[in-house]
Structure 1
Amino acid sequence: MPSLHHLTVLGSGVLGGQIAWHSAFHGKTVVVYDISDQALESYRLTQERYAAIYANDLGADADRIAATRQRLSCTTDLPTAVATADLVIEAVPEAPDVKTEVYKEMAGLLPDRTLVATNTSTLLPSDFAAATGRPDRFCALHFATALWAMNFTEIMAHPGTTRETLTAVTEFAVEIGMIPIPVRKEHGGYIVNSWLVPLLNAAQTLVTNGIATPEDVDRTFLVNGARFGPMGMLDMIGMKTAHDVLAFWGDRTGDAQMTANAVYLKEHFLDNGLSGVQTGKGYYEYPGPAYQRPDFLAVPGLDAVPSIVSQALSD
């Protein structure tokens, strides 16, 4: 099977936008599809942040950034978006009915050669295989947020996925600088989210229930030398994705606390137009979040003791 050079990404949100930019940076021709001009305009603005990150963190020069931009295009027209696609990566909201509807709408528009992958973080590819109209050419390809640094992707088949499809998709992952991680059985949550979602849910529970501040939750994590803590991770993942995951699994498992955590994210962030890094504010403000400051983990002076004691006593 020839190399997958022409990529279409469905969804210009946090991960969809990152997948598109990173793939274009590594030489792929990329079309980004979303349902509104407003969403695409927001993504175009976000590209400025990616350009700065790739220049500062990866040493990309101005010519390579310019070439990345030239390989990227955006559209709200689905037939145009997929007309020349070798691979379509679906990165729409983490809601089964939304994903299913997108696959059904797209099925009759795809060239015969086109492979399809879902970037779902918790759902199974077998949930959507039939809706794609090409279950043999469909699998999961799950990326992590901040993929320029967290450069791995999880590859998961469903029972109808062919070896040829997995081979081509895995080669694509390698070509864009990803470490392919095979998931040996279909598993909701894949590998990373099987431990990440419980971690983030536990951290959010501490905030939702007023047990700790977001900053103090992160301090207990950052003292181990991590680059960011659970609340910073929520900002990076994006509040919409985090809300959708917690709401879905809270409902499915009957977990009242997980549902309450989803409601907290909705009321404190989404209802106020805040999504985390993407909008410049979540638990922290960006750029330059507080947890990156040198004094974030500093031992306080004795003059801070009364305030700390008052918090412990809930004064």
Structure 2
Amino acid sequence: MKFSNVMVAGSGVLGSQIAYQTAYKGFQVTVYDINDEALDKAKERVEKLMTLYKQDFDLTDADVQQGYERMRFSANLSEAVQDADLVIEAVPEKLAIKKDFYTKLGEVAPDKTIFATNTSTLLPSQFAKETGRPEKFLALHFANDIRVKNTAEIMKHEGTDDHVFQALVEFAEAIGMVPLPIYKEQPGYILNSLLVPFLNAGQELLVNDIADAHTIDKTWMVATGSPAGPFAILDTVGIRTAYNISYAKGEAGDEAAQKVATFLKEEMIDKGKLGTESGEGFYKYPNPAYLEKDFLKA
């Protein structure tokens, strides 16, 4: 299977990164989102990414512009997917939204098109039926800041064709990722199976008034030598993503998660503190306190 044209559905923090990384590595990319306002924000994100690519990889303006010129943006689903060999979906982490999206996508996508979800908390089998092509559907999960944290977890469900699975492993490598094949469905894959309990523990310490966010981060950083604590990581992941995850768990009966979701909504999202994307979350950016040389001192 050969991929030339890729559609990325959802142009948020991670969707924009996936789209630009894929285009930078030589693929034609169409970015789809529900309206022009969302796409305008995506273009702003990509412009910021181009600056980071120049800094991190010592690239020229021409180098990063070549990637951008392989991108186009569309709020028309039929138009966006018409030439796609592969769709990478990065829409919000709510099952109803994903089911609705895939039902609509399956009706207009070419028969050849493979679908890959970037879900971080759901399982592909939960909405494989809605795709209309479960054998051509699987999960392809990226970490945030994918240009440098270049993991790609490829996870099949029981109905995924093995040739499709292998094609996605090869695609992940082609866009500069370290492919991490996962042969059985696992909530959270590998990365989030390790990371989410850690982030949950930090958030519960905060909402239960055990300590403030900076102290919790400082504790972890000093004791383990880690470059970031849970709240610095949450800012990078995005507060809305963290809220969606906690909200879903709360709706399922997890009282601790519901308490976290309420805090994130009232104290962060409602105040415009969305993390690095808005310039403020648990820290202020572009110069967060946890990176200051005195942060870890007594």
Shift of 1:284: 0.9
Q: 2:169·2:181 contact (CA, 8 Å) conserved in 1?
A: no
In the alignment, which residue of structure 2 is the partner of 1:290?
289
Deviations 1:112-141 (A, max 9, x none): 111000000011111111101111111000
Are 1:67 and 2:72 an aligned pair?
no
Query: TM-score, with normalisation over the residues of structure 1?
Result: 0.92
CA distance in 2, matches of 1:155, 1:198: 21
What residue number does 2:174 align with? 175
Q: Which residue of 2 aligns with 1:225?
A: 225
Deviation at residue 227 of structure 1 after TM alignment: 2.4
Report how far residue 268 of structure 1 moved: 1.2
What is the alpha-carbon distance in structure 1 between the residues aligned to residue 48 and residue 284 of structure 2?
Answer: 14
Q: Which runs of 5+ in 1 are unaligned?
A: 300-315
Partner of 1:11: 10
Within 5 A, what are the aligned runs for 1:1-315?
Answer: 1-2=1-2, 4-223=3-222, 224-252=224-252, 254-299=253-298
Report SS of the residue matched to 2:186. coil
Local SS of the residue matching 1:269:
helix
* Percent identity between the two aligned chains: 44
Q: Unpaired segments of 5 or more residues in structure 2?
A: none
Give how far 1:11 is off: 0.4
Deviation string, structure 1 residues 74-106 (Cα, Å, up to 9, x no partner):
111111110111100110000000000000011
**Counterpart amino acid of residue 125 in structure 2:** S
> Equivalents in 2 of 1:163, 1:230: separation in Å?
36
**What is the rounded CA distance, in whole Å, between the counterparts of 2:8 and 2:77 in structure 1?**
11
Q: Secondary structure at the match of 2:108?
A: coil
Q: Deviations over 1:165-216 (max 9, x none)?
A: 1111111100011111122311111111112111111101111122111111
- The worse-fitting range, judged by mean Cα deviation, of 47-56 and 237-246 is 47-56
The answer on whether the counterparts of 2:246 and 2:257 sit within 8 Å (CA) in structure 1 is yes
Deviation at 1:60, TM superposition (A): 2.1
> 2-side partners of 1:75 and 1:258: how far apart?
36
Q: State the shift of 1:228 in Å.
A: 1.7
- In structure 1, C-alpha distance between the alignment counterparts of 2:163 and 2:13, rounded to whole Å: 29
Equivalent position SS for 1:94: coil
Cα shift at 1:64: 1.2
Q: Structure 2 counterpart of 1:54, which letter?
A: Y
Q: Secondary structure at the match of 1:142?
A: strand
d(CA) in 1 for partners of 2:285 and 2:64? Answer: 22
- Whole-Å Cα distance in 1 between the matches of residues 62 and 221 of structure 2? 36
- Tell me the alpha carbon deviations over residues 17-41 of structure 1, each in whole angstroms, 9 at most, x when there is no partner: 1101111111111111111222111
In 2, Cα distance between the equivalents of 1:94 and 1:66? Answer: 31
**Using the alignment, how far apart are the partners of 2:268 and 2:27 within structure 1?**
34
Using structure 2 for the length normalisation, give the TM-score. Answer: 0.97
Take 1:147 and 1:225, find their aligned partners in 2: how far apart are those partners? 22
Larger gyration radius, structure 1 or structure 2: 1
SS at match of 2:73: strand
Counterpart of 1:120, as a letter, is T
The Cα offsets for residues 241-273 of structure 1, whole Å up to 9 and x where unpaired, read as 111111112332x22111100111111121123
**Distance of 1:9 and 1:77 partners within structure 2:** 13
Tell me how large the CA RMSD over aligned residues is: 1.1
3-state DSSP class of the match of 1:22? helix
- Using the alignment, how far apart are the partners of 2:196 and 2:251 within structure 1? 15
Deviation at 1:225, TM superposition (A): 2.8
Secondary structure, in 3 states, of the residue corresponding to 1:159?
coil
Residue type at the aligned position of 1:195: L
